[in-house]
Amino acid sequence: MKATITHQNNTFQVDLSKPIDISLPLSNTEYNPIAWYIEKPQIEPVRFGSWVGSVKGGATTNFNNIFFNPHGHGTHTECLGHITKEFFSINQTLRNFFFTAQLISIQPDQQGDDFVITKNQVEKALGNSKPEAIVIRTLPNVDEKKSKNYSHTNPPYLQEEAAIFIRESGIQHLLIDLPSVDKEKDEGKLLAHKAFWKVKDVTNLNADARKNATITELIFVPDAIEDGSYLLNLQIASFENDASPSKPILYKIE
Report how many domains make up the chain: 1
120: how many CB neighbours lie within 10 A of its CB? 13
130: how many CB neighbours lie within 10 A of its CB? 12
Own/partner pairs, 2-7, CB within 8 angstroms, 24+ separation: 2/254, 5/98, 5/231, 7/98, 7/100, 7/231
Does residue 151 sit within a domain?
yes
Q: Are 66 and 43 a contacting pair, CB within 8 Å?
A: yes
In angstroms, the CA 207 to CA 199 distance is 9
Does residue 84 sit within a domain?
yes
Helix axes 160-168, 119-126, angle to 10 degrees: 30
Q: Cis ω on the peptide bond leading into residue 140 (within 30° of 0)?
A: yes
Which residues span the domain enclosing 110? 2-33+70-252
Q: Supply the DSSP symbol for 80.
A: G
Cα torsion 180, 230, 251, 248 to 10°: value is 20
Confidence class for position 237, pLDDT limits 50, 70, 90: very high
> Is the pLDDT confidence value at 122 over 90?
yes
Does residue 54 sit within a domain?
no
What pLDDT, on the 0 to 100 scale, is given for residue 155?
Answer: 98
CATH of the domain at 140: 3.50.30.50
The C-alpha angle with vertex 152 and arms to 148 and 156, in degrees rounded to 5, equals 70
Q: What is the mean pLDDT of the chain?
A: 96
Does residue 167 sit within a domain?
yes
pLDDT tens-digit map of 160-182: 999 999 999 999 999 999 999 99
> Is the pLDDT confidence value at 9 over 90?
no
pLDDT tens-digit map of 60-71: 999 999 999 999
Does residue 60 sit within a domain?
no
Would the pTM count as exceeding 0.85? yes
Does residue 152 sit within a domain?
yes
What one-letter code names the amino acid at 171? I
Does residue 44 sit within a domain?
no
What one-letter code names the amino acid at 182? D
Torsion sign across C-alpha atoms 63, 67, 69, 73: negative
Does residue 47 sit within a domain?
no
